[in-house]
Amino acid sequence: MDSPFLILVAGQPAAELRRHGGFDHWIRVAAGLERDAAVAIDVAAGAALPTFDAFAGVIVSGSAAMVTERQEWSERTSAWLAGAVEAGLPVLGICYGHQLLAHALGGTVVDNPAGRRMGTFDVELLPAAREDALLSPLPGRFPAQMTHVQHVSVAPPGAVVLARAEHDPCHAFRVGDSAWGMQFHPEFSAAHMRGYIRARARVLVEEGFDDRALLRQVGATPQARRVLRRFVHHSRNAAR
């Protein structure tokens, strides 16, 4: 029997969207994992972190928190992630998880000087992605769901930068052969993205965005969504 995947829950969806489940549910469904093939641990609520050897891989969720806040649970998870990478456990960090993984491995996370990104935007693969286990099958440019304020301004030492987006030169990176950070949200559907824009409409307007225009631009992101299933496939093959 295959080992389960670990989902580290770093936060919860916007309150208006929690009727659709937590980030762990969204990730599990998008990754094609059965209920008993994933274990969710709410690290933001202070849950203890497990040993590395019981899991096929780990996926770190997004969060409304900021890596630069250096909250105790976040720093504890950061140290754990550094150990997981050193131990060879496959890791995929999503949004906050992407930033936390970068921080854990010596990269730099800051407020994006271009401000908030929320909606469906293009990701552009860099040449290194042509040889990457997760991204190589994807087109050179594809749409993805995004919602973030901070970003990775400096990738970790030795990291390979795989993709960029407008105002975000390190939108995806890999360290070694089994640790990835992705700023976009492969687990978000178009419905999730629209829900986020509606939930944050007041903030968006206050920051000078046209929330209705952002809603109109939301679309399906099937290529981005494939990343989670490819991570599961890659991790299971690596464990055999």
Report which residue type is found at 52: F
- CB atoms near residue 141 (< 10 Å): 12
- 3-state SS assignment for residue 191: helix
Count, residues in the chain: 240
Q: Exposed, middle or buried by CB within 10 Å (0-12, 13-18, 19+), for 57? A: buried
What sign does the dihedral 47-234-118-221 (CA atoms) show?
negative
| Chain-centroid distance, C-alpha 109 | 14
The residues assigned a catalytic role are 95, 185, 187
